[in-house]
């Protein structure tokens, strides 16, 4: 008799789900999944059915015996699950539109996971993820929680700090996107590249780059001084850094660093794009409509290539690679969000960091790097403080803490601007922030 292996995906109606399905199909020999439960809320029912039926067609085409269940009942889905993946958006894309539009009125970056947008996505998301962890304690206490929901670092921080769940890993496709970008830059297969990552989610640095075991960091950094090399990730198009800055920094940045190192340029770019073509959320909204029209096609039984434009490139590789490695105790090295445990000297041991880790059946074992280079250390610490205060505000419903968190974020010009933005965004997201209003 086949051993049951069950995965429950919260936010199963996401446009990213075909990426996950493709990953499970590719790695079925290593991870013989028997049950996949795709779960969503009533507002996402139609999308869940559309994407769920595509998932069934993809699995049928692959000739695999995986039972796919579509459900609005989270408790039923979680019962005896081995892995729980989370990929949901509280307030849907409408909330993201507000996160991006409102800050721009105050000449502040409007972005999904950074600055005010990151704060408010965290405030909406953290209470829900903690609810899920409480359900997991009752229904699948031995399951691993693999979180893809943004802001992934802040969410992982909250689970580590405010839940009883120890088996949690946060994941992002940015590091694997950087690896793929470097392999293209060097014109070599991705398998030959290894990068030592350290920092925080969307604030991660590639400290060392290895090709076939040889350190080629200086060579890669020199190649990156070409102003045409602006970004490795499709949904954030950078501006291009000054060659002197890149050479002196001596490490790889991630695309989200553009918002900090090219702050004024990125703000002007965002404001121009918002006026001419809409914010990123508004662009994604159109992309999603097109994707779901494609998904409805009964003859479609593969992940459509258009999905990469959505910003989820390599998501299936990162997600199922991690799950497979935990399941098989592979002890390979992957960049994940996990408890620091002394790996980065200047970050508290109990905080979440994004770092290259050895992946075991007992979870990630972060690889100690000593400390971050002095040029990047302060910014990482500042963002970690922002994440910590944001998570505390989300749990306590303390508006003053939310104002403080935003005030210390380097994308915010002053405490008074922080207060104005918080007031407006609290009102805009009132329906999804009960902890602040139901006191």
pLDDT digits (tens, 9 = 90+) for 144-172: 999 999 999 999 999 999 999 999 999 99
Count of beta carbons in the 10 Å neighbourhood of residue 141: 11
Pick from 163, 201, 209, 164: nearest CA to 182: 209
Residue 230 confidence class, pLDDT cut points 50, 70, 90: low
The pLDDT of residue 74 is: 97
Do residues 216 and 208 touch, judged by C-beta distance below 8 A? no
Give 104-155 pLDDT, tens digit per residue.
Answer: 999 999 999 999 999 999 999 999 999 999 999 999 999 999 999 999 999 9
- What SS3 state is found at 427? helix
Question: Residue 202 is encoded by which pair of tokens?
Answer: 């969307």
Q: Which residues contact 288 (CB under 8 A, 6 or more apart)?
A: 15, 93, 310
Whole-angstrom distance, CA of residue 77 vs CA of residue 69: 8
Could you tell me what percent of the chain has a pLDDT over 70? 95
Residue 413 confidence class, pLDDT cut points 50, 70, 90: very high
The runs of H, that is alpha helices, within 63-151 are 74-78, 92-105, 115-139
The pLDDT of residue 334 is: 96
Q: What is the DSSP letter of 252?
A: B
Whole-angstrom distance, CA of residue 335 vs CA of residue 435: 33
Do residues 25 and 60 touch, judged by C-beta distance below 8 A? no
Q: Taking each helix axis as running N to C, give the angle between helix 92-105 and helix 280-295, from 0 to 180 degrees, rounded to the nearest 10.
A: 160
The pLDDT of residue 418 is: 98
Residue 267 confidence class, pLDDT cut points 50, 70, 90: very high
Residue 237 confidence class, pLDDT cut points 50, 70, 90: low
Structural domains in the chain, sorted by start: 6-171 (3.40.50.720)
Q: Does residue 177 carry a pLDDT above 60?
A: yes
Check the annotation: does 254 bind a ligand.
no
Compute CA distances 348 → 20, 52, 157, 383, whole Å.
Answer: 33, 41, 11, 13
Residue count of the chain:
439
Do residues 307 and 19 touch, judged by C-beta distance below 8 A? yes
What angle is formed at CA 157 by the lines to CA 128 and CA 409, rounded to 5 degrees?
100
The pLDDT of residue 388 is: 98
Any catalytic annotation for residue 256? yes
The pLDDT of residue 307 is: 80
The pLDDT of residue 305 is: 81
The pLDDT of residue 438 is: 86
Least confident of 178-187, 249-258, 312-321: 312-321
Q: Taking each helix axis as running N to C, give the angle between helix 399-407 and helix 115-139, from 0 to 180 degrees, rounded to the nearest 10.
A: 130
Q: What is the 3-state secondary structure (H, E, C) of 327-369?
A: HHCCCCEEEEEEECCCCECCCCCCCEEEEEEEEECCEEEECCC
Place of tokens 């019962």: 79
Positive or negative torsion for Cα 419, 422, 424, 426: negative
Check the annotation: does 150 bind a ligand.
yes
Check the annotation: does 172 bind a ligand.
yes
Q: Does residue 254 carry a pLDDT above 70?
A: yes
Whole-angstrom distance, CA of residue 413 vs CA of residue 391: 21
Whole-angstrom distance, CA of residue 34 vs CA of residue 81: 11
Give 298-350 pLDDT, tens digit per residue.
Answer: 999 998 888 876 666 677 778 999 999 999 999 999 999 999 999 999 999 99
Segment 262-272 shows an average pLDDT of 96
Q: Does residue 229 carry a pLDDT above 80?
A: no
Give 183-192 pLDDT, tens digit per residue.
Answer: 999 999 999 9
Q: Taking each helix axis as running N to C, give the angle between helix 17-26 and helix 315-328, from 0 to 180 degrees, rounded to the nearest 10.
A: 50
Of 16, 241, 256, 259, which one is the catalytic site residue? 256
The pLDDT of residue 313 is: 66
The pLDDT of residue 228 is: 67
Whole-angstrom distance, CA of residue 391 vs CA of residue 130: 11
Do residues 165 and 139 touch, judged by C-beta distance below 8 A? no
Segment 359-380 shows an average pLDDT of 98
- Residue 39's DSSP bridge partners are 10, 71
Do residues 132 and 154 touch, judged by C-beta distance below 8 A? no
Q: Does residue 232 carry a pLDDT above 70?
A: no
Residue 239 confidence class, pLDDT cut points 50, 70, 90: low
Mean pLDDT of the chain: 94
């Amino acid at each position: 008799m086949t051993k049951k292996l069950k995965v429950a995906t919260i936010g199963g109606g996401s446009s990213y789900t075909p990426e996950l399905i493709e990953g499970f199909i590719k790695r079925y020999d290593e991870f013989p999944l028997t049950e996949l439960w795709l779960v969503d809320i009533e507002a996402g029912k139609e999308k869940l059915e559309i994407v769920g039926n595509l998932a069934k067609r993809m699995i049928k085409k692959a000739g695999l015996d995986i039972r796919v269940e579509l459900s609005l009942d989270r408790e039923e889905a979680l019962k005896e699950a081995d892995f729980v993946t989370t990929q949901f958006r509280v307030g849907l894309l409408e909330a993201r539109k507000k996160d991006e539009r409102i800050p721009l009125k105050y000449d502040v970056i409007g972005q999904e996971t950074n600055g005010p947008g990151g704060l408010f996505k965290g405030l909406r998301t953290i209470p829900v993820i903690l609810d899920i962890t409480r359900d997991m304690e009752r229904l699948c206490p031995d399951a691993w929680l693999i979180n893809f929901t943004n802001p992934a670092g802040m969410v992982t921080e909250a689970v580590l700090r405010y839940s009883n769940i120890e088996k949690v890993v946060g994941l992002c496709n940015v590091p694997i996107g950087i690896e793929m970008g470097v392999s293209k830059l060097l014109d070599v297969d991705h398998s030959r590249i290894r990068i030592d990552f350290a920092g925080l989610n969307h604030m991660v640095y590639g400290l060392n780059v290895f090709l076939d075991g040889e350190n080629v960091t200086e060579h890669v950094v020199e190649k990156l001084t070409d102003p045409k090399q602006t970004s490795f990730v499709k949904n954030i198009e950078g501006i291009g850094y000054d060659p002197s800055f890149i050479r002196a920094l001596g490490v790889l940045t991630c695309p989200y660093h553009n918002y900090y190192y090219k702050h004024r340029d990125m703000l002007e770019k965002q404001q121009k794009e918002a006026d001419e073509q809409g914010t990123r959320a508004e662009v994604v909204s159109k992309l999603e409509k097109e994707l779901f029209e494609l998904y409805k096609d009964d003859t479609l039984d593969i992940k459509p290539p258009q999905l990469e434009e959505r910003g989820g490139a390599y998501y299936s590789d990162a997600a199922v690679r991690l799950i497979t490695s935990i399941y098989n105790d592979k002890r390979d090295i992957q960049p994940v969000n996990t408890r620091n445990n002394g790996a980065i000297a200047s970050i508290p041991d109990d905080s979440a960091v994004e770092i290259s880790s050895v992946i075991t059946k007992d979870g990630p074992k972060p690889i100690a790097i000593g400390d971050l280079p002095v040029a990047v250390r302060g910014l990482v610490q500042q963002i970690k403080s922002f994440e910590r205060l944001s998570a505390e505000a989300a749990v306590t419903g303390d508006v003053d803490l939310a104002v403080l968190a935003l005030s210390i974020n380097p994308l915010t010009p002053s405490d008074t601007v922080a207060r104005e933005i918080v007031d407006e965004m609290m009102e805009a997201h009132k329906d999804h922030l009960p902890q602040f209003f139901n006191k």
